[in-house]
Chain A
Amino acid sequence: MLEVKGLHHRYGKAEILKDIDLGVERGEVFVTIGPTGSGKTTLLRLVGLLERPTSGHIYFDGYQVNNSERTRLEIRRRMAMVSQKPAVFNASVFENVVYGLRIRKENGATLRHKVMNVLETVGLSGYERRDARTLSGGETQRVALARAMVIEPELLLLDEPTANLDPVSTSHIEKLVTDVIKKSKMTVIMATHDMFQGQRLADRMGVLVAGQMLQTGNPGEIFSSPRGRQIAEFVGMENIIAGIITSNEEGIVDIKIDGNAIEAISNFSVGEAVYAGIRPEEITLARAKESTSARNSFPGEITRIVLFGPLARVEINCGFPLVALITKRSAEEMKLQTGDRIYASFKATGVHVIKG
């Protein structure tokens, strides 16, 4: 569907993208993740033909995109892009959504029908006459998404569509991607700096750091075996534990790990192999077993303590290795030392379950 070869881009002296190779299959949701400023937006803008690369080639549906303004427009009309902070036209929601169809000279009865349908899909039925500029951030983002979806593009480019949204709006947008877009024929390339969002939505992921595509693969692969320190750091997942789902009661799962069981929230079904990911800062330590709302608490032995700055990194062996990140002050107050017996606790909601 889309192939990128040796893509290089510079703004003045700053090298934004270095030698990117990328292939995206038809119908796939490809998520490029990376920290802010890693070149994700630039990559999408180049693929979306909003800018021309300094060097390198883009192939769309087998055709090499050349420099002719006409072919670029023709190809651009087969895709649509939603930006991080979408701008809306100073007009009604209807006029905003219908724009892409109007400029493609579509008209007649289907026009209104299509717009109404897509507004219903994004949950904005009844909004068609509203002034688009009076909408909230989440609503604006949904208008932007509707405006792109109504064109039925072969390739949909989403640039951090939830970066500025509250959690409710974010899950709404994510649901649209998983429930509607994935089921359509659209191919999606999405940029995000949120590792977990990438994992939730992606068929395949690419980690972009400082303009380089360091690793591509399915989300489980990238989480469990990050290739290199940069990715591991960005992934921020020091605790990745392989296990198998043994029960699932209304979304609360037990993951069996070497005789222990971790409770987590997820939709995986019984028998599936998964990874449980816990961020080190989400683990709390205690001398004795306390009664707490945290569903997971494991006794273990401290194997190593490393201090850096105001923080202490505590490695614990609970039958499986866990790394906790606490403040240096609490480590001192608790007088933690290598060899101490300790309880490591974390909430079920703090466990990120990734396909194994």
Chain B
Amino acid sequence: MHAIVDAFVLAVKMIFTGDPEVYGITARTLEISISSTIIGALLFVPLGCLIYFNNFRGKRTLISIIQTCYSLPTVFVGLLVFLVFSRAGPLGVFGIMFTPQVMVIGQVVLISAIVTGLTISALSGVSPAIRETAISLGASRVQSVWAVLKEARFAVLTAVMVGFGRAISEVGLALMVGGNIRGYTRVLTTAISLETGKGDTALSLALGFILVALALIVTVLANRFLRVKEADVARSQGSAS
């Protein structure tokens, strides 16, 4: 019991005294996760649009596969990225194994399905009349897609936030392809797992608090967007009745 209390006190001290180790790891974590989220959003929100707005054979099957991949195990993605980027792998020539870059690549792969899939869901929540309206007012194809995307903005933002949550909290992938190198590829999750193994529970706990705090901020922001949306809907319904 004493050990836990001691660790807790130490953890709080580390956070509030600005321990360089703790803050270095936090900064790196954010840097990697935010990078992968931005890249993921830039790639997979448009991909979701492309899938949603085009009709082709096997579209339903594709969407089912994407939804299945929401729960892709991080270690499995880690394994794939490892096989591709390790020295002997097809992209081994780049020599980026055990770097933050490869971790970003891995996280982008990891969140691809969830961002694509939730973007598709977000778009299907918008009435087809919106796109028709845009077109009838002179929108080009791209402009009409943009109009729909704008209508779905809150839901699309939520998709991106969920992607960020997944990226920042995963540990298997970061460990396998990042290698948990101190001061280089060590992030919150890998550090917690290592320090706990070493018995440094105070550092683990401090890092854990920060991770939870970050996750909490993301959730609160996501919920806030959702609530703004719901309030909008409620308001419009209220006035209609």
Contact = CB atoms under 8 A, between A and B. Distances in A.
A81 B140 CA distance: 15
Contact of B130 (A48, A73, A89): A89
B232 A100 contact: no
Interface in A131-150: 131, 133-136, 147-148
Interface in B147-178: 147, 150-151
A89 B137 contact: no
Given A103-B143, A133-B236, A134-B235, A89 B138 contact: no
A50 B141 contact: no
A89 B139 CA distance: 14
Contacts of B129: 83, 85-87
A61 to B, nearest CB: 16
A332 interface: no
A60 interface: no
B137 A103 contact: yes
Contacts of B232: 90, 131, 133
A154 to B, nearest CB: 12
A87 B132 contact: yes
B136 A151 contact: no
A83 B133 contact: yes
Contacts of A81: 136-137
A90 B137 contact: no
Interface residues of A, number: 29
A87 B236 CA distance: 13
A104 B137 CA distance: 10
Contacts of B140: 73, 103
Contacts of B135: 50, 76
B150 A89 contact: yes
A83 B128 CA distance: 13
A190 to B, nearest CB: 15
Contacts of A104: 138
Contacts of A151: 137-138
A169 to B, nearest CB: 15
B138 A100 contact: yes
A333 interface: no
B133 A69 contact: no
B130 A99 contact: no
B151 A89 contact: yes
A80 interface: yes
Nearest to A70: B140
Interface string A259-298: 0000000000000000000000000000000000000000
A148 B137 contact: yes
A131 B234 CA distance: 12
Contacts of A99: 134, 137, 147
Given A103-B137, A134-B235, A83 B143 contact: no
A133 B236 CA distance: 5
Interface in A38-82: 48, 50, 69, 73, 76-77, 80-81
Given A50-B132, A131-B232, A131-B235, A87 B139 contact: no
B104 to A, nearest CB: 33
B139 to A, nearest CB: 5
Nearest to A150: B137
B239 interface: yes
B226 to A, nearest CB: 14
A89 B150 CA distance: 9
B64 interface: no
A131 B130 CA distance: 16
Contacts of A148: 137
Contact of A80 (B137, B143, B150): B137
B68 interface: no
A267 B151 CA distance: 46
B127 interface: yes
B141 A80 contact: no
A146 to B, nearest CB: 11
Contacts of A100: 137-138
Contacts of A147: 137
Contact of B136 (A48, A69, A134): A48
A103 B150 CA distance: 14
A167 B138 CA distance: 31
Nearest to B129: A87
A89 to B, nearest CB: 6
B31 to A, nearest CB: 34
A86 B137 CA distance: 12
Contacts of A86: 129, 133
A50 B136 contact: yes
A99 B151 CA distance: 13
Given A133-B232, A134-B239, A87 B127 contact: yes
A225 to B, nearest CB: 36
A81 B127 CA distance: 17
Contacts of A87: 127, 129-130, 132-133
A114 to B, nearest CB: 14
Contacts of B151: 89-90
15 contacts: A69-B141, A81-B136, A81-B137, A87-B127, A87-B133, A89-B133, A91-B150, A99-B147, A100-B138, A103-B137, A103-B139, A134-B236, A134-B239, A147-B137, A148-B137
Nearest 10 interchain pairs by C-beta: A87-B129, A133-B236, A81-B136, A77-B138, A100-B137, A134-B239, A87-B133, A103-B143, A103-B139, A134-B236
Given A89-B130, A103-B140, 5 more contacts: A50-B135, A76-B135, A103-B137, A136-B240, A147-B137
